[in-house]
Amino acid sequence: MTRDLGKAIESPRRYSFANLPRSITWSEVEQMLQKVDRRNAVGKRDYAILLLLVTYGLRALEVGALTLDDIDWKRDRLHIRGRKAGHSTAYPLSPPVGEALLDYLKHGRPEKSERVVFFEAYAPYNPLSRVAVSMRAKLYLHKAGIQVSRPGSHTLRHSCVQRLVDSGFSLKTIGDFIGHRTPDATKIYAKVNIQALREVALGDGEEVL
């Protein structure tokens, strides 16, 4: 046709929360972690980053903004400040995460006066950006051969949440844990809570709802 009718075509209706969170299984998480070469500085840094993402469901921005002052070694606490919800969160510092951070700080982090934890691997050693953090996650997902739409740091954040859902934690608890601003942001994970959905389908579902 000589005339473009594209503007006359209505776009399909898009519904809120129509998509599923792009998480991967925990066995795939372990498969991805095994692809990190922890014998060099880059691997030590990346391993600590991946553990932070998948253990606490942190955003790439929060990992990039992490400082030495946010790690309380005496009390085994990890502080995440300036979250999207406008508050800070203190997590117990899990032994695997603590060991990975210590290994990087002692044997991988460049000697810089800045208090930021993660730096680029090559001079001039700038602090690692939010985009760079997400790209590290994307790299190892590809290395492990894991197929997922839009791979990156949010894939590991979703995987952390999926594990919490599978463990039976309430959506309110999960939302508080990962720093959601409102309960609405956590609603999408109700779609992957298979056990609760099964109870709703098989009974009156009042206890679940």
**DSSP state string for 116-161:** BS-B-SSTT-PBPPHHHHHHHHHHHHHHTT---SS-SHHHHHHHHH
Residue 113 lies in a domain: yes
Percent of the chain with pLDDT over 90: 56
Catalytic site residue from 77, 84, 87, 181: 84
Q: What are the start-end ranges of the H helices in the chain? A: 26-33, 41-56, 60-64, 95-107, 130-143, 153-166, 171-178, 194-202
Tens of pLDDT, residue by residue over 86-96, are 678 899 999 99
Would you state the torsion angle of the CA atoms of residues 75, 81, 84, 87, taken in this order, to the nearest 10 degrees?
70
Task: Indicate the pLDDT class of residue 20, thresholds 50, 70 and 90.
Answer: low
Residue 16 lies in a domain: no
pLDDT above 80 for 191: no
| Structural domain boundaries, residue 172 | 26-202
Residue indicated by tokens 């098989």: 202
82 or 79: whose pLDDT is higher? 79
Active site residue 74: no
Residue 8 lies in a domain: no
Catalytic site residue from 45, 109, 136, 180: 180
Percent of the chain with pLDDT over 70: 81
pLDDT above 70 for 209: no
Catalytic site residue from 45, 154, 158, 163: 154
Q: Residue 108 and residue 85: Cα distance in Å, rounded?
A: 32
Active site residue 107: no
Active site residue 15: no
pLDDT given at position 16? 55
Total residues found in the chain within this entry: 209
For range 156-177, the mean pLDDT: 84
Active site residue 84: yes
Catalytic site residue from 59, 109, 136, 163: 59
Residue 171 lies in a domain: yes
Kindly report the pTM of this predicted structure: 0.80
Q: Which two tokens stand for residue 19?
A: 């998509």
Q: Closest Cα to residue 133, out of 117, 147, 110?
A: 117
Residue 19 lies in a domain: no
Residue 14 lies in a domain: no
pLDDT given at position 35? 97
Residue 87 lies in a domain: yes
Q: Which CATH number fits the domain that encloses residue 46? A: 1.10.443.10
Active site residue 189: yes
For 144, other C-beta atoms within 10 Å of its C-beta total 18
- What φ, ψ does residue 186 adopt, rounded to 5°? -95, -10
pLDDT given at position 173? 84
161 or 128: whose pLDDT is higher? 128
Residue 89 lies in a domain: yes
Catalytic site residue from 38, 157, 158, 163: 157
- Give the chain's domain count: 1
pLDDT given at position 196? 55
Q: Residue 181 and residue 187: Cα distance in Å, rounded?
A: 12
